[in-house]
Amino acid sequence: MEVLPQDCIAHVLSRTSPQDACQAALISQSMKDVANSDSIWEAFLPPDYREIISRSTPPVSFESKKELFMKLTSPLLIDGGTKTISLDRTTGKKCYMLCARELDITWSDNSLFAQVSELVMVCWLEISATINTRMLSANTYYGAFLVVKFANRAFGLDHLASEVLIQVGESKYEGSICLCHTKSPDRIRERSDGWMEIEIGYFHTEDADTGKEVKMRLREVKGVHLKGGLIVEGIEVRPV
């Protein structure tokens, strides 16, 4: 492959993936120079990366496009700390976390992202949010996950199943889930960061995206019993 002109190699690598470029850099010094070039790594960044980093808190500093990409594989606070964005290290697809302050949580103590929100005691449980598909990567399957913890004093959350909904335009997915890890092991999982994630549902973004609102919701409004002890960090929307 090294007999090819460097611009030809760069063109080929830019159409692969970040993982492929990193592997190519191990072949030789000349391949490393091409594989680490800005032209390669700019192709792996989302088209709106300049607008994204302009919204970051604090500002992002970088000396190369590869360094920027690697920084964006860790969550970056944007929009005054109400969201985080990160890139999948393998594919470069965008992942968002909408913080508790960005969610519509019935009867919650709205708090800063760093403090999350806790449902102390309610009889009506409803958590919802929206995100526009323009913010996401095109032609990608996404999953939406409610990120929570259950306080030691949690009560009443698993008496009745909660309804979950994902709606994109006319397309809608509805289901139900019991808010108990032992009763819903396939839908409630422990994350590496110590939080639990509750599967809300899945959707697909289009190639030529005109921008559609994605509505995400979890609620239990049929019971009249009291419930509480659910600590909400946010809703994560990530490629699956």
Interval 210-223 mean pLDDT: 92
- 62 and 89 belong to one structural domain: no
Distance CA 220, CA 222 (A): 6
Residues of the chain with pLDDT > 70, as a percent, come to 94
Kindly tell me if the per-residue pLDDT of 108 is higher than 80: no
Distance CA 40, CA 32 (A): 11
- 197 and 226 belong to one structural domain: yes
Kindly tell me if the per-residue pLDDT of 208 is higher than 70: no
- 198 and 234 belong to one structural domain: yes
Interval 95-115 mean pLDDT: 71
Any domain includes 208:
yes
Reference 102, options 125, 130, 77, 76; nearest CA is 130
- 59 and 144 belong to one structural domain: no
Distance CA 65, CA 42 (A): 6
Domain-ending residue, one of 72, 99, 120: 72
How far lies 48's CA from each of 4, 51, 52, 121, 164, in Å? 31, 5, 6, 41, 31
Strands 213-220 and 162-168: antiparallel
Q: What is the pLDDT of residue 3?
A: 63
Model pTM score: 0.89
Residue 213's contacts (CB-CB under 8 Å, 6 or more residues apart) are 130, 131, 132, 133, 168
Question: What does pLDDT average to over the chain?
Answer: 89
Tally of domains within the chain? 2
Distance CA 81, CA 190 (A): 24
pLDDT tens-digit profile of 27-65?
A: 888 888 889 999 999 999 999 999 999 999 889 999 999
- 114 and 233 belong to one structural domain: yes
Cα angle vertex 83, ends 108, 66, to 5°?
160
